A and B are shown apart, each in its own frame.
Chain A
Amino acid sequence: MITKRIIPCLDVRNGRVVKGINFEGIQDVADPVEMARFYNESGADELVFYDITASVEERALFSDILVDVASQIFIPLTVGGGINTLDDFDRVLKCGADKVSVNSGAIRNPDLIEQGAKKYGDQCVVLSMDIKRVDGVFKLFSKGGRENTGIDALQWAVDGVNRGAGELVVNSIDTDGVKDGFDLELLDEIAARVSVPIIASGGAGKMEDFSELFQHPGIDAGLAASIFHFKEIDIRDLKQYLRKAGVEVRL
């Protein structure tokens, strides 16, 4: 049967993985290629690279890194960060990305989802959403979670799927960094409304958080960054734990 997916996320700036400095077990602790190789060997099901660069020069460096990773690591790669136009899709796909994650670019121009889906297929377009409760209502935030767009997040998820998003990354700002579990209330609300795969993000602190997550129907994958980078959780250990808990995983 199909497995639940475990996905580490790597934020890359100026050719290095941000927050990767305490990473053990590999030689160059912040080299994206080394980290990608390490995660591939430890059983990661996909990798997500976020380009958090600020300049054109750094962006070119990011592209070079992506080519390096995609030439050596043969599992699905998703790339996000700075995707605002179809040219941005084209640029990262030519460098070896399999899926393109849109966030703020799709908020500014929702047609971007449709255009990307039409040109490259639904499976290629991942809609990533930063969501926070405001007065008890789930609101969509932009610019890395700094700005409240005022948009109803649940409606945005439904609209995004209707426009052609093939997967959703649901990142809860409320649980992000708290390490007390995923935002199951939010995830359930979204799972009840859409039928595309949902990747949960924000809040994972221990292995039990993942087994609890996968008991909720409609959740296909768990994404995390620092708990994997800092080796608080080893992906292979996590998968063995999940398999014992009755969750189908790739080992």
Chain B
Amino acid sequence: MIAVIDYGVGNLFSLTASLKFLGAETIVTNKKEDILAADRIILPGVGAFEDAIAKLRATGLVETIIEETRRGKPLLGICLGMQLLFETSYEYGKHQGLGLIKGEIASIEEDLPKRPDGEKLKVPHIGWNSLNLKGSDPLFKYIKEGDYVYYVHSFYGKNCLENTIASSNYDIEITGAVRSGSVYGTQFHPEKSGNVGLNILRAFIEL
């Protein structure tokens, strides 16, 4: 069973629908006993970092989640859920994350270079971008180099090279997916990335 953490952030329709489509038993929950009973955990999230980390901490589940991942239970953070796994975020101030992934969350806009026409690429980074895979992680066993995934975000993970397992090019290198032990995160939305996304979720279910 997969426990999808419910902490009042974002729309979970597509995520739960895609897990159901893949035949995975899923529970959307904010209860400790469900997280303990589940064999894997998904941390979703859309919105602003400060608000989301406060809501997540308010559930009282953070210690349980960290403890379970230390025992080897697979965790997947998606979009803002991935960003929450990092040590620090610089989205409107400086905020402490869960510290499961080494690195920080920074503004895309500030880091984008100017193009020859004097303009920068648009922010948010929105749409389909191709993945550059680093090594052969089991999360990607059903997809291949260059497959496209769907992104929507204005901040991104950086200085996290040792944990990066995939990235995309947007004039800067955008961290696409990270891993540290049983802790995974994707900046893109697998639940919105068509068959490629379903294949990533399928691999997560089989970890």
Contact = CB atoms under 8 A, between A and B. Distances in A.
Interface of A: 1-3, 5, 40, 45, 70-72, 74-76, 93-96, 98, 120-123, 166-167, 195-197, 217, 220-221, 250
B47 interface: yes
A124 to B, nearest CB: 9
Contact of A94 (B13, B126, B127): B13
B31 interface: no
A197 B123 CA distance: 9
The DSSP consensus for interface residues of chain B is mixed
A74 B193 contact: yes
Given A70-B17, A196-B122, A2 B152 contact: no
B18 A74 contact: yes
B122 A76 contact: no
A123 B148 contact: no
A75 B191 CA distance: 8
B55 to A, nearest CB: 15
Contacts, number: 78
Bin chain B's interface residue count. 20 to 34
Contacts of A96: 13-14, 17
A197 B192 contact: no
B124 A123 contact: yes
Interface string B1-25: 0000000000101100110110000
- 9 shortest interchain CB distances as A-B pairs: A250-B148, A96-B13, A250-B128, A71-B17, A3-B128, A123-B152, A2-B129, A75-B194, A74-B18
